[in-house]
Amino acid sequence: QQQVKQSPQSLIVQKGGIPIINCAYENTAFDYFPWYQQFPGKGPALLIAIRPDVSEKKEGRFTISFNKSAKQFSLHIMDSQPGDSATYFCAAKRDTDKLIFGTGTRLQVFP
Amino acid sequence: EPEVTQTPSHQVTQMGQEVILRCVPISNHLYFYWYRQILGQKVEFLVSFYNNEISEKSEIFDDQFSVERPDGSNFTLKIRSTKLEDSAMYFCASTRLVADTQYFGPGTRLTVL
């Protein structure tokens, strides 16, 4: 119930493509769903986050789609760039709880 | 922009030795966390800390681990007797309000030989 399942494990796209990373959860008490971007040797950096009262949130080229009934959420990266090459983690938490991370997706964007 | 800082960036130690990992959270934050990430794996929660006491700890956070906020700025993680399996990246995180975003530091890579 505390798990967050993330797929795919790795993703390769061409520059300009739209990689999509999916996450699923079981605990309906989760109410905050962030995505973190991590470059090698660095800490996770918050990219974008959503709460379950909205179905979509967009910030720049990054969009979260949220499906509360299916207990799924996904990250879309529009017009992907080589600089977006990183590992992306979805996460979930309850209001006063710790972050539960997905297993990560390694994204490579080729020029 | 304020950020979480961690020292050292890399710590190498012998099995059985004590290590202290240090963090300086963002100055007006009240909630502090330690997470770890074994190479190539996901980030795992270790412990949360608020109002000078542990709020929650995971199964990983056994008696060999302890946390402390020795002054108004530092937040430390001590591993009393390190094991080979403690080798990982350790991340400190902080947040102002418990429902807010957690901001992560750059991590300390701990290598236990």
Beta bridge partners of B37: B43, B89
A34 at interface of B, judged by CB pairs closer than 8 A: yes
**pLDDT tens by residue, A36-86:** 999 988 889 999 999 999 999 999 999 999 999 999 999 999 999 999 999
The pLDDT value given to residue B71: 86
**pLDDT tens by residue, A20-39:** 999 999 998 999 999 999 99
β-sheet with A4-7: strand ranges across: A4-7, A20-25, A72-77, A62-67, A56-59
Of B58, B99, B106, the CB nearest to A42: B106
Verify whether the Cβ–Cβ distance A98 to B107 is below 8 Å. Answer: no
Rounded mean pLDDT of B79-105? 92
